[in-house]
Structure 1
Amino acid sequence: MQKFYNREKELKLLRKISQNLTTHKGQLSVMVGRRRVGKTRLLNEAFAGQDVKYLYFFISRKTESSLVNEFAAIIQNELGAKFFQPQSLKDIFEYLLDYAKTNPITVIVDEFQDIQRVNPSLFSDIQNLWDSSKQSSMMHLICCGSLYNMMTRIFKGKDEPLLNRDDRFFKIQPLKPTYIRSVIEDHGKFDAETMLNWWCLSGGIPKYLEWLANFASENDNIFEEVISDFSPFIKEGTHRLVEDFGSEHRIYFDILGAISQGNTSRSQIENYLGIGVGVHLEKLEEDFDSITKMRPITSKETSRDVRYSISDPFLKFWFRFIHANKSAVEMENYAYIRRHIARDFETYSGWELESLFEAILMESNQFGRIGGYWDSKGKNEIDIVAINDLDKKILIVEVKRNQQKYKEAKLIEKSHDLLKKLKLKNYEITYRGFSLDNLIEVMDEFVG
């Protein structure tokens, strides 16, 4: 098994909750994070080999009766309940809460939001059972899900039965740049170019880092392995998204494909596709957490000056180079796709360098606000503006792949309009050029 990176705080808290059940009784934790981010691995690390009895249930998209049979078999094997024959998922929860009155137990329910597809009334059943048993059952119930906004709605929506039933809410994020660096260093491959490539291909998603680590040991040219017959990356975008998007997946794929080709405003996307996409953009952002709205750092939340970006660096790469060449994928003409990457990746990764530096500044915890800036005409663009209001400092950054192309005088000139709009007096302003040439130095400076 691959080395486990980061998540120390989450591991410690999850174990503490489960180990104190005899004192605190029923505890409900919610864990959310996009697919492949390592939620299941984290839970396994937290409880496997520990002195804590735990059960793991996965809500796959089967009929309720199929899930009941599957879960009943787990209970019979793990708890020795040989004559337990439930008829519904409600019976499963009822039995476990009753069992927990005399035996501390941790119960993990993965892809919890998919109960909506199996039996929506189960949410109310769980609420009633939990409310009546929480004070007497020594259960740590962990509801885990990959659709952040759906999970948030289930536990925070004002008309939802499970409103505020959670005692802890864990949001599992991709690994930060320092941990990506650690993975690369552990495989003896670390340099600035490799760091940027692995950022573009993983965005810090542990599963992708694991794949890249395996490939790195086989070939110095990572794209020879990533774009090849047996590479899991080829179908990964489809596997990750089709199930979530359901019957409308084609329009969502078209929108993400349009964004990946540089159509970042709603009007550009609609012109590119020839259809209205307002409702779909809203769902991609709010329900699926697939895109991010970007506004100038000087704008209010209500500003209509919006650009859209694909949230996940890997999916950005996948739509730009793999999905865009789906005919070549069907013909298994991987050499053609590698030629496309050889032609365009240097320019593409130069743009992605900006998101990597932004992630580094976020990880530094030195700033309260980080974003970009462009004026109302889309001009005078500034790549990164990082503001520390406590210490009254502003960092204004131009990102170039090649440091020689950075011109500080030009950046200062472009910043006049930004500073006028920020209206921040007596702030110390620093202008910097970040590039692939000084990536390692910037990482050392900001995140050690």
Structure 2
Amino acid sequence: MTITVICIAINARIMKFYNREKEIKLLHSIEKKSIQAAQMTFVVGRRRIGKTSLLAKAYQEHTMLYFFVAKKNESLLCQEFVQEIRNKLQVEIFGELKTFKSVFGYLMELSKTMHFTLIIDEFQEFKTINPSIYSDMQNSWDSQKDQSKINLILCGSVYSLMSRIFEHSKEPLFGRATGRIHLKEFTISTLKEILIDYHKEFNNEDLLAFYLITGGVAKYVELLVQENAFSIDHILNVVLSDNSLFLDEGRNVLIDEFGKEYGNYFSILSLIASSKTSRLEIESIMEMQVGGFLDRLENEFGIISKVRPIFAKPSSRSVKYHIKDNFLNFWFRFIYKYRSAVEIGNFDFLKKIINRDYNTFSGPILEKYFIEKMKQEGNYSNIGTYWEKGNQNEIDIVALNELDKSIIYGEVKRNKKNISLGVLEKKTEKLQSKFSDYQAKYIGLSIEDM
């Protein structure tokens, strides 16, 4: 389930949410169910994606408690939570509720006679404050949910911890959630809509730069729109400036995920962002085994993806690794790699580096753009890339439609003049021989086609 949301403020005006009707309808449906039977929904998504804004929008006209789990003493947190309960529910609380066990138990008891939504944001932080809270919640939930009318929304931005809390069989809350929402980035069509609203004269270079830097992450879109930054030069001026949120963003997003071993993870991601995409290349440079790190980056943290040639067997050793998040890919390629220049404030130097490498770096992003665009069109049963042993006969896009027996081969270049469909057709001969009963189509895609 994919949900993203943004609220953009310009000239002190609150602007519209984009493309969120279905998601808000879903959250309203969950709220209605909770009137009859308690609901526990966990919401996960990377930082800056718009989780809190979405939930606030969905439940702004409903009775709602909002608990933010800051990294502080449990007793202090509970004081804040009790004040929120008093303010929002207009109830008298007798005695002191100094533990979250007592706060949650009180709310579960109250929800038997009063319907409300409880949102707990950064829910994974209880892990460091008091891990027994999850067991306490389980006991209270199991014993009281059948009589409860609570709409419980548990929201978190550390993907690995949130997934473990609810999906690991040994965790207390395993199997308790009645719903799961994974918030992701804006789609390409939504990014276009935003650009049309705020920068009507945008060109395709602007669209590529906007997609390359933000990746559709709501907060990044908001920041660039507020600064009216749409061209690559203007975007870089915002990103590479004193006190820019973007400079420490990669570290802020990932440091809690990786813990003490973040140095090795950061080094691996920096190499992948610099086009060292095979395990062999990474191990050769780092002079250590990285299989475990790569596995956790893919399966536990969800930051990289393993890419095989389309139609290759899952056991194929022909594997490349890509960073899934556009901004993190940019951050590790330039800001982390040249962090010494960042630390001394030499942003002009870094801008020169980025401008020097921009055409090369943006090429694969352009390929990703077209693949994502074709996926969202919904016309194909399988889409991917293709290459043969030794990276021979690389094909940027292969899209299969099993219903009408057609296959598309695509060549992607920034400049249309560099596309040769004859060369593309030659590279597809071996693959096309396996699809002799399919109608083949050869296309060239460039910035002009965005």
TM-score normalised over the length of structure 1: 0.91
Contact 1:296 1:371 in 2 (8 A): yes
The aligned counterpart of 2:57 is 45
Give CA deviations for 1:119-161 in whole Å, capped at 9, x if unaligned: 3332222222212222211101111222334433332333333
The aligned counterpart of 1:446 is none
Task: Answer with 269-278 or 317-326: which moved more.
Answer: 269-278
Q: How many residues align?
A: 434
The aligned counterpart of 2:46 is 34
The aligned counterpart of 2:209 is 197
State whether structure 2 residue 75 is matched by structure 1 residue 65. Answer: yes
Task: Answer with 252-261 or 111-120: which moved more.
Answer: 111-120
Contact 2:134 2:172 in 1 (8 A): yes
Which amino acid in structure 1 is aligned with residue 409 of structure 2?
I
Distance in 1 separating the partners of 2:158 and 2:256: 11
Distance in 1 separating the partners of 2:243 and 2:158: 28
The aligned counterpart of 1:179 is 190
State whether structure 2 residue 268 is matched by structure 1 residue 268. Answer: no
Give CA deviations for 1:90-129 in whole Å, capped at 9, x if unaligned: 1121111111111111111222233333333322222222
Any unmatched runs of 5+ in structure 1?
A: 440-448
Task: Choose the corresponding residue for 2:406, options 393, 403, 426.
Answer: 393
Contact 1:295 1:303 in 2 (8 A): yes
Contact 1:258 1:273 in 2 (8 A): no
Which amino acid in structure 2 is aligned with residue 380 of structure 1?
N
Which amino acid in structure 2 is aligned with residue 385 of structure 1?
V
Distance in 2 separating the partners of 1:392 and 1:114: 51
Which amino acid in structure 2 is aligned with residue 200 of structure 1?
L
State whether structure 2 residue 308 is matched by structure 1 residue 295. Answer: yes
The aligned counterpart of 1:78 is 88
Task: Choose the corresponding residue for 1:241, options 221, 236, 254.
Answer: 254
Q: Pick closer, same or farther for the CA change 1:15–1:338 going to 2, 3 Å.
A: same
Task: Choose the corresponding residue for 2:336, options 317, 323, 347.
Answer: 323
Cα deviation, residue 424, structure 1: 4.0
Paired residue secondary structure (1:321): helix
Cα deviation, residue 402, structure 1: 0.6
Cα deviation, residue 186, structure 1: 1.0
Distance in 2 separating the partners of 1:184 and 1:132: 51
Distance in 1 separating the partners of 2:392 and 2:70: 48
Contact 1:245 1:252 in 2 (8 A): yes
Distance in 2 separating the partners of 1:271 and 1:218: 39
The aligned counterpart of 1:445 is none
Paired residue secondary structure (2:276): coil
Q: Pick closer, same or farther for the CA change 1:84–1:257 going to 2, 3 Å.
A: farther
Distance in 1 separating the partners of 2:73 and 2:295: 30
Paired residue secondary structure (2:337): helix
TM-score normalised over the length of structure 2: 0.91
Paired residue secondary structure (2:393): coil
Contact 1:29 1:168 in 2 (8 A): yes
State whether structure 2 residue 110 is matched by structure 1 residue 90. Answer: no
Q: Pick closer, same or farther for the CA change 1:218–1:182 going to 2, 3 Å.
A: closer
Distance in 2 separating the partners of 1:10 and 1:212: 25
Cα deviation, residue 274, structure 1: 2.1
Any residues of structure 2 matched to 1:36-435 within 5 Å, and which?
36-48=48-60, 50=61, 52-80=62-90, 81-188=92-199, 189-216=201-228, 221-420=234-433, 423-424=434-435, 426-435=437-446
Paired residue secondary structure (2:138): helix
Give CA deviations for 1:338-365 in whole Å, capped at 9, x if unaligned: 1111111122112210111111112112
Cα deviation, residue 278, structure 1: 1.7
Contact 2:416 2:444 in 1 (8 A): yes
Distance in 1 separating the partners of 2:412 and 2:271: 24
Distance in 1 separating the partners of 2:408 and 2:401: 8
The aligned counterpart of 2:37 is 25
Give CA deviations for 1:367-422 in whole Å, capped at 9, x if unaligned: 222211111222111111122223322222111001111111111111122234xx
Give me the identity figure in percent: 41
The aligned counterpart of 2:11 is none
Give CA deviations for 1:144-200 in whole Å, capped at 9, x if unaligned: 222334433332333333233222221111000000111111112422111100011
Distance in 2 separating the partners of 1:27 and 1:233: 37
Distance in 2 separating the partners of 1:391 and 1:144: 43
Moved over 4 A (4+): 217-220
Paired residue secondary structure (1:299): coil
- CA RMSD between the two structures: 2.0
Any unmatched runs of 5+ in structure 2?
A: 1-6, 9-14
Task: Answer with 425-434 or 131-140: which moved more.
Answer: 425-434
Distance in 2 separating the partners of 1:157 and 1:243: 19
Paired residue secondary structure (2:151): strand
Distance in 1 separating the partners of 2:208 and 2:184: 19
Cα deviation, residue 240, structure 1: 1.4
Paired residue secondary structure (1:216): coil
Paired residue secondary structure (2:270): helix
Cα deviation, residue 20, structure 1: 4.4
Give CA deviations for 1:267-287 in whole Å, capped at 9, x if unaligned: 111112222222221221222
Distance in 1 separating the partners of 2:73 and 2:409: 54
Paired residue secondary structure (2:338): helix
